[in-house]
Amino acid sequence: MADNRPPSLEDLTTEELLEIMMDDLYDGLAEEIVAEVHDCLRRGMSAYETMTQGLVAGMDIVGQDFGAGILFVPEVLMAAKAMKAGMEVLRPLLTETGAPKLGKAIIGTVKGDIHDIGKNLVGMMWEGAGIEVINLGINTDADAFINALEEQQADILGMSALLTTTMPYMKVVIDELKARGLRDKYIVLVGGAPLNSAFAEEIEADAYCQDASVAVDTAKKYLAMRREEAS
C-alpha cells in the first residue's frame, strides 16, 4: 500500500539510520533518538558502536557548530538532552560489555560559581569519547576536587568557571595540588567564557579548552601522552 508515512526505522539501512540519528541529535529530538538507539541495538550493533557512531558523531557536529556560532546554548542543551536520553539506554550496556575506557575525569564548577552548562556539555562529550566522568556539580572547593581525584584515582581534573570573580579560584585548587605534591599526578584542564590560554598558563593548568569539542581533543591528547610516558 502506498502512503506518505516516513519509513519506519526497520526499513532503513544502517547507514541511513545513522544519518537520521545525526540529524535528530542535532535537532534535539530525544524521543526519536531513544527509538533509534534501540533500533541500532536490535540490529546487533554494540552499545559502544551505537554510542560513537550514533550519538557522538552527531554531538561532535553540534560542538563544532556551537564553536562557530551557528548554534547557541538552547540548541546545544536540546541536543545534549537527546544525547543524554540515548546514553541512558546505553550506559548500563556499556559497563556490561567492558567498553574501552580512555581514562577517568573529575569535573566541577569552582567554588562561588553556579554555572554549569559548559561543564555538563564537556562531561557528556568526554563520556562519549570513552572517558569515565564524575561530575561534582557547582560551587566545588579544592578539598572536594582533590578528594575526588584521589578516591577515584582519576587522570583528569576539569574545572569550569564563568565569572571573572571566580576563575582565580582555579589557582587555589592548583596551588593546593602542588602543596600536597599531587600536581604532576593529574592532567588539569580548565574552561569557561572569561578564560583564555594565557590564564591557563598563569595558573599552571595543563591547558585551556575553549569549547566542548576542544575539550575532547585535548583530553585525548593528554591521555595519549600519559600512556606513552607510562610505556
Partner 1 sequence: MRTTLQELLASADGLPVIADGGMGTMLFNSGLANGESPELWNVNNPDKVAVIHRGYIEAGAQIVLTNTFGCNRYRLQLHKLEDRAAELNKAAAQIVVREAEAADHPVVVAGDIGPSGGILLPLGELAYENAVDAFEEQARALVEGGVDVLWVETMSDLNEVRAAVEGCRRAAPDFPVVATMTFDTHGHTMMGVSPEKALEGLLEMDLVALGGNCGNGTAEIEGVIRKMRAQNQDVVLVAKSNAGMPRLEGGRAVYDATPANLAQYALNVRELGANIIGACCGSTPEHIRAMNVALRNSVPTA
State the DSSP code for 140. Answer: B
Q: How far is the CB of 89 from partner 1 (least distance, A)?
A: 21
Beta strand segments in the chain, E: 103-109, 131-135, 156-160, 187-191, 207-208
Cβ proximity to partner 1, 27 vs 112, nearer residue: 112
Question: What are the DSSP calls for 167-212, one per residue?
Answer: TTHHHHHHHHHHHTT-GGGSEEEEE-TT--HHHHHHTT-SEE-SSH
How many residues form the binding site for partner 1 (CB under 8 A)? 32
Choose one: 120-128, 144-152, 194-202, 214-222; the region binding partner 1 (CB under 8 A). 194-202
197 binds partner 1 (CB under 8 A): no
Count Cβ atoms below 10 Å from residue 73 Cβ, excluding itself: 12
Lookup result for grid cell 554510542: 51
> Binding partner 1 by CB under 8 A: which of 194, 217, 225, 227?
194
Cβ proximity to partner 1, 41 vs 138, nearer residue: 138
Burial (Cβ within 10 Å: 0-12, 13-18, ≥19) of residue 108: buried
Element (H, E) at 60: helix 57-67
Q: How far is the CB of 24 from partner 1 (least distance, A)?
A: 18
Using CB under 8 A, which residues numbered 50 to 69 contact partner 1?
68-69
Cβ proximity to partner 1, 9 vs 85, nearer residue: 85
Nearest to 136 by CA among 128, 125, 151: 151
98 binds partner 1 (CB under 8 A): no
137 binds partner 1 (CB under 8 A): no
Residues at the contact surface with partner 1, assessed by CB under 8 A? 68-69, 71-75, 77-78, 111-112, 114-115, 117, 139, 141, 163-169, 171-172, 193-194, 196, 198-199, 202-203
